[in-house]
Amino acid sequence: MSEGDRPESPGGAAVRKLGRAQGPFAGGMRGRANPFLRRIFERLAQPMARRPPGDVGGARQIVSVCRALLSELGEVSGTRLATEALAMYQALEPQAREKFFDHLVDDFSADPVEIEHAADAYRRAPSPSALKKLQTAVESPRQELFRRLNLAPGGLRILLDMRRQLLTTLDRHPAREVIDSDLSHLFRSWFNGGFLVLQRIDWRTSAVVLERLIQYEAVHQIQGWDDLRRRLEADRRCYAFFHPALLEEPLIFIEVALTRGISAEVQPLLDPRSAVVDPTVATCAVFYSITNCQEGLRGISLGNLLIKQVVDDLKRRFPRLKTFATLSPIPGFRQWLAGVNGSKGGPHVSAALGTLLAGVDLDAGFPDKTVSPALREEISRLCAYYLLHGKHGKIPLDRVERFHLANGASLERLNWLGDTSPIGTRRSLGLMVNYRYRLADMERNHEAYASNYTIVASRELERMAKQALLP
C-alpha cells in the first residue's frame, strides 16, 4: 500500500531534495566508499546492548538512518533501513525517545521559504505544474519518512505505537502536534473503509483474538472466559474491524444483544448465567458496548462505518429486526453534577440532593431504596439537561454522546439504574441512555450534528431538560 503510493506522492521529490541538501547523500549508490553511509552501517552493525541505557545519542543514530532512508539509497534498500530504524526506535529509553520526537519536528519539517516561493509562483501563474511544486513544498519530509518506515515487517503496528506514545506528550510539547498531524493524515488513508475487513467474532474465533477482546473491553469488563462465551452465544453478536497488515489485532469491536425490546438495564445483558433465547424472534438489536482497541488510532473515525455494516449484516440475517439502539453509559454526568451551582440561567441542585450526593458510597452502588421519587425525578431531569445542554462551547461534554451523535443517532430515553455496578454509580449514579439509530434519519442527523452540533432528541428528553430549569 505505502510502497505503491510512494512514487506518486508529492513528498517524494521533497525528500530527495532534502537528501541532496544534506551533502553526504548526493552520491546515492555511487558511494560504496561513501564514508557517511559506511559510518551508518557500522553503527547499525553494533549490538544494541553496547549502547548505554538512556543515551540520547541513540536518537541521533536513528535520525541518521532516517536520513539515509529518505535518500536515493533508501529507495533501493528501504525495507532494510526501515527495519533497522524501527528496531532502534523500539530500543530507545524514554529520554532518548523524547529527543527523537524533537528531531522529527526540527529536522523533518517542510521548509517555509520553499513553501513561500512555491506559493508565489502558483499565485503568479496557477498552472498544474506550479500546483504540483506547491504540493511538494507543503508536504513535510516526515510523511514520506513514515511511508518508508511502513515498508518494514510489522511497521504499521510500530507506527501506531509511536503515535500512542506521542499523544501522551502533546500537552507538554505542543510543537509535536505537527508529527501527530502527519501520522493522522496517513492513518486516515491506510485505515479507510476499503482496507478494513468486518468479521463476526464467535467461540470458534482464534484464541488470540478472544484474549484480546478480554484485554481491550473498555465499557463493561469481561470477567473471564465464561463471561466472554455468554457474550458470543446465539442471541448475542460481536463484530470487529481488522486490517490486513495487523492480523488477529482488532481495531474496534461492537457487542450486540438481540432482544424483543430496547433494553433499559445492562446487568441482565451481562449475566453469564442468563438463558439463551431464540434470536429469530428478536425485534431489537441493542449495542451495549463499543470499544476502540488502538490508542494510536484516536480521532480516526471507524465507528460510523462499523455500525452501518453491522446493521446491514443483522438486517440481512434477522429480517424481523426493526429497532437498532444502544444502551450506553453517561461517563461525565456525575462529575458535571458535582459542579452544578445554580448559576443564572442554569439548573440547580436541591439541598436534599446535595446531602444525598455527599453521602453516596461509590463502591457500594447507588442506594436506590433511600431515594425519594422527588429526588429520582430531579436527578433524571438534571441528566437530561446535561445531555442536551452540557457543552464546551458548542460541543457536548459527554464523550459517548459525541460518538453516537456524530454517527447519526438520536437521544431516545433515560434509564434509571440502568447500570447498578460501582462503576455505573461512579460514572452517572447508575443512569444509562438509549441512543437510537433510525436508518432513514442517520444521514440527516449526522449532517445536522457535523454542521452545527445539533442534538436530535425525543420530546420526553427535551421536556425533562426544560423542567431542570424550574425552581
| Alpha carbons 420 and 371: distance in angstroms, whole number | 14
Q: Which CATH class is domain 333-467?
A: alpha beta
Q: Is residue 232 over pLDDT 90?
A: yes
- Equal fold, 2-190 vs 333-467: no
Q: What is the pLDDT of residue 42?
A: 52
Nearest CA-CA partner of 16 in 73, 83, 59, 54: 73
Q: CATH topology for 197-326?
A: Aminopeptidase (3.40.630)
Q: Is residue 158 over pLDDT 90?
A: yes
pLDDT bracket for residue 360 (50, 70, 90): confident
pLDDT bracket for residue 286 (50, 70, 90): very high
- Return the minimum-mean-pLDDT range out of 40-49, 199-208, 228-237: 40-49
> What count of other Cβ atoms lies within 10 Å of the Cβ of residue 425?
22
Q: Is residue 367 over pLDDT 60?
A: yes
Distance, C-alpha 124 to centroid of its chain: 42
CATH superfamily of this structure's domain 2-190: Malonyl-CoA decarboxylase, oligemerization domain (1.20.140.90)
**Mean per-residue pLDDT, 343-353:** 81
Q: What is the pLDDT of residues 121-131, one digit of tens each?
A: 999 999 999 99
Q: Is residue 79 over pLDDT 70?
A: yes
The answer to whether 404 is a known catalytic residue is yes
Amino acid identity at 280: T
**Mean per-residue pLDDT, 157-170:** 98
Domain assignments of the chain as residue spans, ordered by start: 2-190, 197-326, 333-467
Mean residue pLDDT across the chain: 87
**pTM, 2 dp:** 0.83
Distance, C-alpha 291 to centroid of its chain: 9
- Return the minimum-mean-pLDDT range out of 72-76, 205-209, 364-368: 72-76
| Alpha carbons 50 and 162: distance in angstroms, whole number | 24
> Which of 263, 328, 410, 428 is the catalytic position?
328
pLDDT bracket for residue 447 (50, 70, 90): very high
- List beta partners, residue 286: 257, 325
- Return the minimum-mean-pLDDT range out of 65-79, 133-147, 150-164, 169-183: 65-79
Nearest CA-CA partner of 357 in 266, 265, 426, 432: 426
Q: Is residue 288 over pLDDT 80?
A: yes
**Mean per-residue pLDDT, 168-176:** 97
The answer to whether 71 is a known catalytic residue is no
Q: Is residue 118 over pLDDT 70?
A: yes
Nearest CA-CA partner of 297 in 251, 264, 329: 251
pLDDT bracket for residue 357 (50, 70, 90): confident
Q: What is the pLDDT of residue 18?
A: 40
| Alpha carbons 56 and 73: distance in angstroms, whole number | 26
- Geometric angle at alpha carbon 319, from 316 and 321, rounded to 5°: 105
Q: Are 256 and 239 in contact (CB under 8 A)?
A: yes
Mark residue 205 as left, alpha or beta (left: phi above 0; alpha: psi -120 to 50; beta: remaining).
Answer: beta
Nearest CA-CA partner of 292 in 424, 407, 428, 175: 407
Q: Are 148 and 188 in contact (CB under 8 A)?
A: no
Q: What is the pLDDT of residue 348?
A: 84
| Alpha carbons 252 and 302: distance in angstroms, whole number | 7
Q: What is the pLDDT of residue 38?
A: 52
Q: What is the pLDDT of residues 24-73, one digit of tens each?
A: 333 333 334 444 455 444 544 444 444 444 456 789 999 999 999 998 77
Q: Is residue 289 over pLDDT 70?
A: yes
N-term to C-term CA, the chain:
61
| Alpha carbons 289 and 239: distance in angstroms, whole number | 11
> Which of 220, 243, 404, 410 is the catalytic position?
404
